Amino acid sequence: MSKYIVKRLLFVIIAFFGVSLLIFTLLYFTPGDPARMILGDDALEEEILKLREELGLNQPYLKRYLDYIWGILHGDFGFSYVTGRPVTKDILARFPVTMKLAVLSTLVALIIAIPLGVASALHQNSIIDNLARLTALLGVSMPQFWQAILFILLFALKLRWLPASGSYDWYYWILPSITVGIHMASTIMRITRSSVLETMKNDYVMTAIAKGTPGLLVILRHVLKNAMIPIITVIGLRFGNALSGSVVVESIFALPGLGKLIVDSIKARDYPIVQGSVLLISVSYCLINLLMDLLYTFINPQIKEQLSEE
């Protein structure tokens, strides 16, 4: 088991350096001059050249990348071109907002997807099943930005039940969480349905039903528990996507999270902020997948035995 964890941690490290190289290369060849963006179009050419030298933008590609990695290994992600503050400080101030949105959205998705997926599987090819699959299809087909705007127009402007933007109190999080949660629930519901249908064909489920075990107990103890492996997998993936894919939702609802910070930094050519944010999201995604793999061992002891033998 410990060897497996070490292997996965090594994979996280490799992914970290791979993502750092990719994002650094993309931003290096992105058109636009950060120095000119900072000083403005009216700045003198001498001032721009001086600022480029101070920021190290005139250095060769390889030297800039090696200096960047060396700084990261020492806990230094650089300084923001716009604010002049340490990148780590700006990112860590925004990351809790993005994490909160991802957690709330996942809770919304689970409340919708698990009961709906189980009900759809238990009533296969019925009206309930058809409505559930139609709902999942609509949820996964609607773009999040369109869904967010629709919710704002309906619940904020027309009905005036909820605020349109901000994060000042708990009810400010309702619309953003539902917007992301519905999109997540669509995928989780379909996986839950297919996994439950597959599990219900097993002999131990038929035996439990033949013994007269109550239906709810059969679902909770035999069906849902053994169907959780693929469900947990997709939950982990969707949670990671919520961390990285909430850029549009945070921008529309004006949430001061990491997604909105990335959008603002891209517009301002604030490359250190973009690089640090993407690296943090990538590492978080890898750690979430590792956590999901470890969670498998508590659900299915056979997986733990297989990992111990490796």
Could you report the per-residue pLDDT of 37-61, keeping only the tens digit for each?
Answer: 777 777 777 888 887 887 777 888 8
pTM of whole model > 0.85? no
In the structure encoding, which two tokens stand for residue 226, read together? Answer: 């053994």
pLDDT > 80? residue 70 = yes
| Average pLDDT score, the chain | 82
- What value does the mean pLDDT take over residues 194-222? 76
How far, in Å, CA of 29 to CA of 261, rounded?
Answer: 21
How far, in Å, CA of 55 to CA of 80, rounded?
Answer: 10
The pLDDT value given to residue 304? 57
Q: Helix/strand/coil (H, E, C) string of 221-257? A: HHHHHHCHHHHHHHHHHHHHHHHHHCHHHHHHCCCCC
Tokens 């999942």 — which residue?
136
pLDDT tens readout for residues 236-276: 888 888 887 677 888 888 888 888 888 888 887 788 888 88
pLDDT > 80? residue 217 = no
Tokens 């349109």 — which residue?
164
Closest by alpha carbon to 279, among 17, 29, 64?
Answer: 17
The pLDDT value given to residue 309? 54
* Number of neighbouring beta carbons within 10 Å of residue 6: 10
Q: List the Cα angle 100/106/108 in 5-degree steps.
A: 105
User: What angle, 0 to 180 degrees and rounded to 10, lies between the N-to-C axes of helices 87-122 and 258-267?
Assistant: 130
Closest by alpha carbon to 108, among 47, 169, 183, 57?
Answer: 183
The pLDDT value given to residue 111? 92
How far, in Å, CA of 271 to CA of 100, rounded?
Answer: 25
pLDDT > 80? residue 230 = yes
